[in-house]
Each structure stands twice: as structure tokens, then as C-alpha cells.
Chains A and B, each alone.
Chain A
């Protein structure tokens, strides 16, 4: 029972903290992109490609964390380990 509740908390923390980081990152980058596009509109196309590339990079850690957290939440691997422990 303890394990289930701890894993539930851990899944929430993994997704929540990851989302905080990724959102701050994307927000700062998007803001800077808009700023620089306002200053030099002729660079917009070039910067857009780079922004999307970086968005993919920033998002990756968060998405990987979400995947792992959902995996823990639905198919908890630690329960099997506990079942295999010698009594």
C-alpha cells in the first residue's frame, strides 16, 4: 500500500516538476523569439526553424519524464519486485 501511494506521489512530481521546467524554458525562448522577430522581422523564418528545433530539445526531457511517470502509474514495476521479495 505504501509503495502504491509513494509511486503515485512520485508520478505526480515527475510530471509536475518536469512541466514547470519545460514551460519556463519554452516561455522564455518563445518570448525571446517574438522579441527578436519584432526587432528584425527579416530573420523570422530562419529563427523559426531554430526555435522549433530548440522546442523539440526542451520538450524531450519533460516528455520522457511523462512517459516514465505514466508507465509507473499504469504498470507499476515496483509491485512485481515486492512480490518477488523473499518473505
Chain B
């Protein structure tokens, strides 16, 4: 098995999974929430993919012609039109859409590319990291799917929350928004203010947490299943009937990867749509 770390014996199935679920971190994580630790691998891959995504879109925009478009330009145009029509249907404010529609497009492309890292062979990049360890000397951990890291997905959803708060203040004014916070779901009565405020806070927290957790859960489960499939293939040398395991690995891996193409696109789309819906809600006055 590929990145088995410093252990001299072959790792057991549990050890293999635990090893692959460990991030390359800047320090030792001491608690569940520890803001002094940076998951270097997630940050590196997310920024790299963000730059590549922006570069691809820029390339399409720079080479765009008004004549017959090439395949690449046509694909990007379809994507932009899809996002634009969704944004038009949800955010009914042409001025806000100038920021929100490109935001949704960037989020979609970025999350799609981060999710698509799942489709690389599960041990490819960790193994390269393992092989080159004598050169860089860093700890032998590597996770290549940034969206399977709760820090990244919660970072994205909190950013969306901040944009929602910004638009709440911008559209309704600070006074109007505070008034809505205290009077929104049940009505503008002084004795309802605490209940209303509590409901609004619960709504914001639930929206943000479920937004991030949904993407994380899907990608984490997908990654874990890819690891289990890799384990199945890895066990083929251990037994006499192991060749069946190797064949099963190829079949299960192919089936899951094909199904995963649907999931990664769907989750990127869901994240983009919910971003639009939440920003659209910030525009609605109660």
C-alpha cells in the first residue's frame, strides 16, 4: 500500500484509513476546533485549483470571438448562461447581480474542480508525496480533496453568510435590518421581539452550518468509499481468491467514479444555488 508512513509492518485496514484521513498540518491539532493549525494540503490545493479555474475562465473571455465559437468557448458560454439564468430567477436586483452572478459562477467552477480531485486515483498524489519525502522531509500526510476538509467548506459557507449580512445591511439599511431581525417571522409586537430574534439567529446558524456540512459530508463519504475500494484492491495479494478482489476493485472503482461524476457536479450546483438563494433572501423585505 502506498503511503504507509513510518510503520515498518504493512498497515491494517483501519490504519490505512486513519492515515489517509490525516491532513498535512502546520502543527499538532490539540482540540476539535483549533485555529492555530493550518491544513497545508487543503489550502494549497484549493488555491491552486482556484487559480486554474480563474485562468481557464479568463482564457475563454480573452479569446472570445463574436463569430462561430470554438468548443471551449461554447462550453464556457453555456456555463455562464446557465449561472446567469439561475441568478436572474432568484436574485431580482440587477445591480446586486453584477456581483452575485460572477460570484456564483466562480463558486461553481471552484467547488467543481475541488470536488473533481476525488476522481484522481486515491493514492496517486499521496504516493508521490511519500516517494519524494527524502527531498522535502515533511510529515507523510496528504489529502488531495479540499472540499472533504470541514475547514474549507465551512470557510466557504461563512463567506456566503458574510455576503448575506452585507446585502441585508445594504438593501434594507442598518435600521431596517435590525428592525427585521426583531420583528420578522411572527410580527412587530414588543413581546415577540426575543422570540423573533432567536428564530432569526437560529435561521442564520442553521443555514450556514448545513450549507458547509452538506458539501463536506458528500465529499468525505465519497473519499472514504474510494479508500475502501482501494483497500479491497490492496488486499488481493493476501489470499488465494484475491484475484476476484482485484477485479472487484476495478469494477467497483469504475462504477463509483462514474456515479461520483454526478455527485460532484450536483453538489457544486447545489452549493451555488443555495448561495444564490441565501443572497436572494437577503434582498427580500418581510
Spell out A's residues near B (CB within 8 Å): 49, 52-53, 55-57, 59-60, 63-64, 66-67, 70-71, 74-76
Contact = CB atoms under 8 A, between A and B. Distances in A.
Interface of B: 13-14, 17-18, 21, 86, 213-214, 217-218, 220-222, 224-225, 227-228, 263, 266-267, 269-270, 273
A49 B265 CA distance: 12
Given A64-B217, A74-B17, A75-B17, A56 B267 contact: yes
Contact of A53 (B13, B17, B21, B269): B269
A84 to B, nearest CB: 16
A67 B214 contact: no
A49 B174 CA distance: 35
Contacts of A74: 13-14, 17, 224, 227-228
A64 B213 contact: yes
A74 B217 CA distance: 17
A32 B180 CA distance: 36
A57 B270 contact: yes
B21 A75 contact: yes
A70 B228 contact: yes
Given A67-B221, A71-B224, A52 B269 contact: yes
Most buried by A among B221, B228, B266: B221
B228 A59 contact: no
A70 B14 contact: no
Contacts of B17: 71, 74-75
Q: What is the interface of chain A mostly: helix, strand, loop, or mixed?
A: helix
Nearest to A64: B217
Given A70-B224, A70-B225, A74-B14, A63 B269 contact: no
Contacts of B222: 63
A60 B214 contact: yes
B260 to A, nearest CB: 11
13 contacts: A53-B270, A53-B273, A59-B263, A59-B266, A60-B217, A64-B214, A64-B220, A64-B221, A66-B221, A67-B224, A74-B17, A74-B224, A75-B17
Nearest to A77: B18
Nearest to A73: B228
B191 to A, nearest CB: 35
A56 B215 CA distance: 10
Contact of B221 (A53, A57, A70): A70
A70 B213 CA distance: 17
Nearest to A71: B224
Contacts of B14: 74-76
Contacts of A67: 217, 220-221, 224
Nearest to A79: B14
Given A67-B220, A67-B221, A67-B224, A75 B18 contact: yes
Contacts of B225: 66, 70
B270 A56 contact: yes
Nearest to B14: A75
A63 B35 CA distance: 27
A71 B14 CA distance: 9
Given A74-B17, A76-B14, A60 B224 contact: no
Contacts of A49: 86
A76 B12 CA distance: 13
Contacts of A52: 266, 269
A74 B12 CA distance: 10
